[in-house]
């Protein structure tokens, strides 16, 4: 994994420097390209020696929702021509880290057994920002196996108040 991070770093740094004037706009299309690049069928297509870089670019540009900005098109062409399409998810992750460092925020993933409405999510985000003492970019992912409650991951910090975690604690206490 360290090799992929090493490959991705110069691309992420160049992308960050080039998009300083519109970091939020760049973050949107970087995330979209990351999602597209995670498709195993696309990666298999791109790895085919009979397929040209132009064909791979046209396929990805066709899949992308809406027209890509000129910077995105140039970035994508460079990544494809250099054979680094598989590194695009890591490039996007490193770009997000740089963007968050610039804005003084962090990504927070809230895992919940049930959907959270927007009002409750806004209240939860405010509480989590106080708890973690920084601005958070909150996203929600459903995990029904949690049974109830939430599990929050901010960087390497985890706050687990799920029913599943409490049951595991009780199990450990009873078997100890």
End-to-end CA distance of the chain: 37
What is the side-by-side strand order in the sheet with 135-142? Answer: 135-142, 105-112, 150-154, 157-160
pLDDT digits (tens, 9 = 90+) for 53-73: 999 999 999 998 888 899 999
Indicate whether 167 pLDDT > 90.
Answer: yes
Band (159; pLDDT cuts 50, 70, 90): very high
Average pLDDT for residues 102-113, to the nearest whole number? 94
The Cα–Cα gap between 90 and 40 comes to 15
Cα 97 from Cα 108, distance rounded (Å)? 12
d(C-alpha 109, C-alpha 119), whole Å: 17
Average pLDDT score, the chain: 93
Per 3-state DSSP, what percentage of the chain is helix, strand, and coil (rounded to 5)? 65, 15, 20
pTM of the model: 0.78
Residue 69 burial (CB < 10 Å; 0-12/13-18/19+)?
middle
**Which uninterrupted H or E stretch holds 131?**
helix 118-132
Amino acid 2: pLDDT: 63
Report how far residue 133's alpha carbon sits from residue 117's, in angstroms, rounded to the nearest whole number: 23
Neighbours of 158 (CB within 10 A): 12
Residue 24 banded pLDDT, cuts 50, 70, 90 = confident
Give the H/E segment covering residue 95.
helix 88-103
Residue 159, φ and ψ in degrees, nearest 5: -120, 110
């Amino acid at each position: 994994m360290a090799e992929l991070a090493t490959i991705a770093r110069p691309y992420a740094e160049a992308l960050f420097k080039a998009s300083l004037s519109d970091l939020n706009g760049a973050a949107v299309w970087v995330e979209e390209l990351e999602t597209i690049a995670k498709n195993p069928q696309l990666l298999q297509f791109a790895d085919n020696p009979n397929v040209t870089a132009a064909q791979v670019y046209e396929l990805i540009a066709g899949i992308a929702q809406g027209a890509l900005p000129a910077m995105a098109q140039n970035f994508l062409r460079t990544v494809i021509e250099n054979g680094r399409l598989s590194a695009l998810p890591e490039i996007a992750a490193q770009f997000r880290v740089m963007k968050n460092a610039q804005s003084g925020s962090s990504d927070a993933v809230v895992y919940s057994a049930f959907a959270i409405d927007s009002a409750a999510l806004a209240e939860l985000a405010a509480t989590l920002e106080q708890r973690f003492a920084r601005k958070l970019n909150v996203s929600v992912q459903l995990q029904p196996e949690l049974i109830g409650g939430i599990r929050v991951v901010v960087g390497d910090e985890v706050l687990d108040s799920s029913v599943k975690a409490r049951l595991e604690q009780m199990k450990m206490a009873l078997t100890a």
